[in-house]
Amino acid sequence: MIRTLACIAVLLCCGISTGEARTLRLAVHELPPGRGYPYRVMTMPSLYSLSAIFDGLTRIDKDGIVRPWLAKTWTLKDPLTWVLSLRDDVVFHNGRPFTADAVVHAVTYLTGQGGTGEAVATEMSFLKGATALDDFTVKIKTYIPVPILPRFLPVLHIVEPESWTALGRDEFSLRPVGTGPFKVDAFEATRILLRANPESWRPPKLDHLEILAVPDATARVQGLTSGSLDVALALGPDDQDAIERVGGTLLGWRSEMVRTISFVLTEGPSPLDDIRVRRALNLAIDRETIIEGLLGGLTVPASQGATPAAEGYNPTLEPIPYDPDRARTLLEDAGYENGFALTAEAVIGANGSDSAMYQLVARSLREVGVELIIAPVTIAHLFDHFERGKWHGKAFGMVYTMEPIIDVIRTLRNNSCDRPAPWYCDTGATAMIENALTEQNPEKRIALKQHLMARYRDNAAAIFLWPELRFTGLAAGVTGYRDAHGFVSYDTLDIQR
């Protein structure tokens, strides 16, 4: 009897279903820094949580094709005007209908003082305003031509206007109201408690969802293998055996991101100001050995800061070679024959192999006399530097990401003089980036972007390593997991314990 009661207590403590309600526990590296405020960040891991609560107007599938979401169709009326037809069967979590007024509210916020400086507003600084033509038709105006506007609209998360107005931004972030498949019950320090929204236009199969912040990748794997987690994101290839031993599955694929160590070239003098030094650091990395030994040979050395699926990828660029002798010669020519120390801020534990990866990169650099010192930081700390600058080193680990729009224009604009606090500013590229964004002719637009990718590589704007891999662990019984560029399809996710 005592043993039976103890078993029931364990089941309840761990959240394992003993009856009807199905709860799935999903672990990410970090919860959104703005909690349920959807405009502060538009990248992983925040998108993993926000996509349970909110919807954008479009979504981009794994093949890079823009698909209807809250918007059914979109038409370019003139270079500065888009007209979108919206779904008429969507309601918010509080039962109010989704209409064009909600889109107008979101655009008005992002183009006003309230949205100033937020990541989504910065990414879509070209927005001018929006007007409801009727309940389910909205007109969006831009300051400049943006022929790829539908690619930005997945991150235009739509909030319920009346709740936003009544609560204010800060309180709304704790009690968000969207159109997603799950409603928020509570934000806790290390987890979000959500329950199914059965009135959703894409109702979930699960009854409850818990999104937990587990910063350490090893702890995420242990949670999966012990049964305290059902889905664990941002793992590594070495975790496959442990997960399969308990009947689970490790999913792996190449993302639309390129792993880099980016340079801070705008905050005082450093050896990196010399292009010969930056080129030397790129030539010093033995990418193939690291990929084969650490990443299971599942990716390839980078040729540029883009992936083949993204519009603007330059197929004429060869992979960056490994040439330590040439690297030493360049360093000597630049006056650094005795090397130098380079401090780089980096998030450790966000992925299963990132600590080992930095160690191996540091080993390659040490062979040419450069001492790479990794300063661990949190994702929130890194995002703060993105917006404010004042880096604690002259480099930082990041990705050149095409996600979620799958277009090189995103990585070009993020690594440019147009940032609020730029770390890389090539003034000669500024006008070209603007032209690449606004060019209406597809062939000319792609050619401009390809030219820019070659320019960034030639200028060695960063150490370009390899297209990033993404690994997600699933416990036995988990079905329907889909991840498209950071957006998880929570309506298809299910578990049978």
Does residue 497 register a pLDDT over 80?
Answer: no
- The whole-number pLDDT of residue 486 equals 87
Residue 19: which pLDDT band, with cuts at 50, 70 and 90? very low
Residue 325: which pLDDT band, with cuts at 50, 70 and 90? very high
Does residue 13 register a pLDDT over 60?
Answer: no
Residue 184: which pLDDT band, with cuts at 50, 70 and 90? very high
- The whole-number pLDDT of residue 114 equals 87
Q: Are 118 and 105 within 8 A, CB to CB? A: no
What is the rounded distance in angstroms from the CA atom of residue 359 to the CA atom of residue 429?
33
Q: Are 109 and 158 within 8 A, CB to CB? A: no
Does residue 303 register a pLDDT over 50?
Answer: yes
- Taking residues 467-472, report their average pLDDT: 93
Structural domain boundaries in the chain: 21-36+180-248+475-495, 55-164, 255-470
Other beta carbons within 10 Å of 73: 11
- Nearest by Cα to 292 from 261, 248, 322, 317: 322
Residue 383: which pLDDT band, with cuts at 50, 70 and 90? confident
- Taking residues 116-122, report their average pLDDT: 87
- Nearest by Cα to 126 from 80, 166, 84, 161: 80
Domain made up of 255-470: CATH architecture: Roll (3.10)
What is the overall mean pLDDT for the chain? 92
Residue 43: which pLDDT band, with cuts at 50, 70 and 90? confident
Does residue 98 register a pLDDT over 80?
Answer: yes
- Taking residues 137-166, report their average pLDDT: 97
The residues with which 249 forms a beta bridge, in sequence order, are: 474
What is the rounded distance in angstroms from the CA atom of residue 280 to the CA atom of residue 398?
19
Separation in Å, CA 39 to CA 2, 76, 352: 51, 25, 28
Does residue 74 register a pLDDT over 60?
Answer: yes
395-443 pLDDT, tens digit per residue, is 999 999 998 899 999 999 999 998 889 999 999 999 999 999 999 999 9
Does residue 7 register a pLDDT over 60?
Answer: no
Residue 379: which pLDDT band, with cuts at 50, 70 and 90? confident
Does residue 204 register a pLDDT over 90?
Answer: yes
More confident residue, 13 or 116: 116
Residue 12: which pLDDT band, with cuts at 50, 70 and 90? very low
Does residue 18 register a pLDDT over 80?
Answer: no
Q: Which residue has the tokens 């910065």?
A: 122
Per-residue three-class SS string for the chain: CHHHHHHHHHHHHHCCCCCCCCEEEEEECCCCCCCCCCCCCCCCCHHHHHHHHCCCCEEECCCCCEEECCEEEEEEEECCEEEEEECCCCECCCCCECCHHHHHHHHHHHHCCCCCCCHHHHHCCCEEEEEEEECCEEEEEECCCCCCHHHHHHHCCCCCHHHHHHHHHHHHHHCCCCCCCEEEEEECCCEEEEEECCCCCCCCCCCEEEEEECCCHHHHHHHHHHCCCCEEECCCHHHHHHHHHCCCEEEEEEEEEEEEEEECCCCCCCHHHCHHHHHHHHHCCCHHHHHHHHCCCCCCCCCCCCCCCCECCCCCCCCCCCCHHHHHHHHHHCCCCCCEEEEEEECCCCCCCHHHHHHHHHHHHHCCCEEEEEEECCHHHHHHHHHHCCCCCCEEEEEEECCCCCEHHHHHHHCCCCCCCCCCCCHHHHHHHHHHHHCCCHHHHHHHHHHHHHHHHHCCCEEEEEEEEEEEEECCCEECCCEECCEECCCCCEECC
- The whole-number pLDDT of residue 2 equals 37
CB-based burial of residue 147 (10 Å sphere; 0-12 exposed, 13-18 middle, 19+ buried)?
middle
Does residue 271 register a pLDDT over 60?
Answer: yes
Q: What CATH code is assigned to 55-164? A: 3.90.76.10
- The whole-number pLDDT of residue 20 equals 62
Does residue 14 register a pLDDT over 50?
Answer: no
Does residue 394 register a pLDDT over 90?
Answer: yes
Does residue 137 register a pLDDT over 60?
Answer: yes
Does residue 133 register a pLDDT over 90?
Answer: yes
Does residue 342 register a pLDDT over 90?
Answer: yes
Residue 8: which pLDDT band, with cuts at 50, 70 and 90? very low
Does residue 42 register a pLDDT over 90?
Answer: no
Fold of the CATH domain 21-36+180-248+475-495: D-Maltodextrin-Binding Protein; domain 2 (3.40.190)
- Taking residues 447-451, report their average pLDDT: 98
> Which token pair is 450?
């390809």
> Which token pair is 111?
């183009």
